[in-house]
Amino acid sequence: MTIQADLSDGYAPGGAPGPGAPPPGPAEPPSTHPLYSRLTPRYVPPRPDYAPRRAPVPAPPLRLSPMALLRVLGLGAVAIVGLWLAQAEPSVRLDALFATLAHLTGLLAGYGILVMLLLMARVPAVEHGVGADRLARWHALGGRHVLTLCCAHTVFALCGYAVHTGTDVLDATVDLMGYPGLAAAAVGTALLAAVGVTSARTARRRVRQETWRAVHLLTYVGAALAFAHQLAGPDLAGGPLAVWLWTLLHTTVATLLVWYRLVVPARQALRHGLRVTEVRVEGPDVVSVVMRGPGLDALRAEPGQFFRWRFLHRRLWRTALPFSLSAPVRDDTLRITVKACGDHTRRIRRLRPGVRVLATGPFGAMTAHRRTRRKVLLLAGGVGITPMRALFETLPGGPGGLTLLYRAGNAAQLVLREELEEIAAARGAALHYLLGPSDGPFDPLAPQALRNLVPDLALHDVYLCGPPGMSTAAAAALERAGVPADSIHSRREDRSRARDPARSSESRPTQLPPP
């Protein structure tokens, strides 16, 4: 289905000049948009000696690009290797070889732990530039490497001590546990291993979300024990400067964690005082929650971003659920649209006006700043329409420059349909519903089908949000249809995380970011 509107009068909604509007003369009264035809404002020509004061334009938020962050982290790893080389003593003895490898893996493991904590510190410049979904993938991948380095450090240290003392590995282990710093390091390694095991995909599906979060907090204890061990051990034997720099690095990451994960959320809660004002049924198992609070413009939330919402209601207050904004922020009002996928999301339907809400954010990088081309295609699947609906209303674009494709199993599964059609008609945008079962004979997301709907597809920026299978298949089809990979801005709706929390994590029903 395609919804289009005729904007031949040359004016966009709201009375602003559109792409086809002629420039008004300096002495002529401004043309009146039909939406404002009932108003008869008195025209006052501008005074030549007076320049009206313009409202200050806020500076754009600082964003660190993924490549820039990778370069910074890579330079840090190179510096760690340089520190190891500066204190390494070449030797052909087997115990010395084991010892120097233990030092290298220990330093890299300690640095890796700091990187993992930094990725999850919710620093706005990182979150808004890199994106929470990409940070989550990096965090998961990096966690495996950190555990591998920790295990390698332990093995090399045990082997080196055993060779040096002429004992077996078991006796060497007993002897080393007599040193408080080494015993603390062993406990820290065990805690990190427990976090890694519970974060594995097979285990995560069987662990309650609250239990997983509690176990994940042990990461901070493990990091603190590892830091104490490194200060007491030989890994930083290069001198007081190395100890000072290592301590400064840990202090910086700890400060960022405390500030952005504790202080900023508490300050936002006290300042904005969000409360539920309405719970509106949008369709089967789908509701919109409208919240209101003072000074929400200070949050600088952009369409396409999400918050972590904690509803202070019985059986909901313990879990922060990430949901995208389904409408732009206006009149100190926020709105999310939620589909019931598990116990937590079903309880949201029972919220009543007046319930207090703690919102942390905004997060996410799938915003207008990623746009590089004049034409934009929004491609949504299922409840992934929620961030796309906000972008559909706000992304700049004239007739023919903005298209929304909405994939759903049938018409009953379309969410916010009336709003989408009103936006399409008002903006002269194209709106297509791609209906049908995913295993049907016709694939509406095939490359040729997409080119038929959007003839100049390769000239578009594409924003993509939907279930993992649909997102992966659509991204591959878009690339085969000629869209460059760097023009596809994707975020997946991870439905596997949105089941019963007794069996799996429900913290990410519409987004990918981890706690």
pLDDT tens per residue across span 458-480: 899 999 998 888 888 899 999 99
Q: Six-digit token pair at 398?
A: 């004239």
Task: Say which DSSP state 56 is in.
Answer: P
Quick one: how many helices (H) and strands (E) in the chain? 16, 11
Please, are residues 305 and 63 in contact by the beta-carbon 8 Å criterion?
no
Assign residue 363 a region: left if phi > 0, alpha if psi is -120 to 50, beta otherwise? beta
Q: Tell which wins on pLDDT, 513 or 380.
A: 380
Residue 329 above 60 pLDDT? Answer: yes
Whether residue 318 has pLDDT greater than 50: yes
Average pLDDT rounded to a whole number, residues 410-424:
90
| pLDDT average, residue stretch 140-169 | 86
Per-residue pLDDT averaged across 329-358, rounded?
Answer: 85
The one-letter code for the residue type at 95 is: D
Residues 6+ apart with CB under 8 A from 440: none
pLDDT tens digits for range 431-461:
999 988 877 778 888 899 899 889 889 899 9
Q: Which helix (H) or strand (E) holds 381?
A: strand 375-381
pLDDT score, position 55: 38
Gap between the Cα atoms of 216 and 210, Å rounded: 10
Please state, in angstroms and rounded to a whole number, the distance separating the CA atoms of residues 159 and 442: 61
DSSP 411: G
- Name the region of 315 (left: φ>0; alpha: ψ -120 to 50; beta: rest): left
- Yes or no: say if 146 and 169 are a contact pair by the CB < 8 Å rule: no
Buried b (16+ CB within 10 A) or exposed e, 250-273: beebbebbeebbeeebeebbeebe
The residue assigned the tokens 């805690």 is 191
Predicted confidence at residue 217, as pLDDT, reads 82
pLDDT of 142 > 80? The answer is yes
Which residues are CB-neighbours of 383 under 8 A, at least 6 positions away?
286, 337, 338, 339, 415, 493, 509, 510
Helices (H), 177-310: 180-199, 201-204, 209-216, 218-232, 240-258, 264-272
Q: For residues 186 and 173, is the Cβ–Cβ distance under 8 A?
A: no
Mean pLDDT of the chain: 78
CA angle 250, 120, 308 (to 5 degrees): 140
Residues 131, 366: contact at Cβ < 8 Å? Answer: yes
Q: CA 80 to CA 86: how far, in whole Å?
A: 10
Q: What is the pLDDT of residues 249-305, one digit of tens each?
A: 889 999 999 999 999 989 988 898 899 999 988 877 888 999 999 988 888 898 999
The C-alpha atoms of residue 393 and residue 368 are separated, in whole angstroms, by: 12
Query: Per-residue pLDDT averaged across 297-315, rounded?
Result: 88
Bridge partner list, 275? 292, 356
- pLDDT recorded at residue 510: 36
Q: Are 129 and 365 in contact (CB under 8 A)?
A: yes
> Looking at residues 234-262, what average pLDDT do you find?
83
- Reduce the DSSP state of residue 311 to 3 states and report it: strand
Looking at the predicted structure, is the pLDDT value of residue 176 above 50?
A: yes
Tokens of 54: 């313009």
* Chain segment 8-19, per-residue pLDDT in tens: 333 333 334 444
pLDDT score, position 26? 41
Residue 190 sits at φ, ψ, to 5 deg, of: -65, -40
At residue 70, the pLDDT reads 92
Q: Which residue has the tokens 């093995």?
A: 155
Would you say residue 78 has pLDDT above 90? yes
Q: What is the average pLDDT across 298-324?
A: 86
- pLDDT tens for 86-135 read 777 777 788 888 888 888 898 899 899 999 999 988 998 898 888 888 88
pLDDT single digits (tens) 491-509: 754 333 333 333 333 333 3
Instruction: Reply yes or no: is the peptide bond before residue 509 cis, omega within 30 of 0.
Output: no
pLDDT at 413 over 90: no
With vertex at residue 356, the alpha carbon angle to CA 207 and CA 302, rounded to the nearest 5 degrees, is 80
**pLDDT at residue number 432:** 92
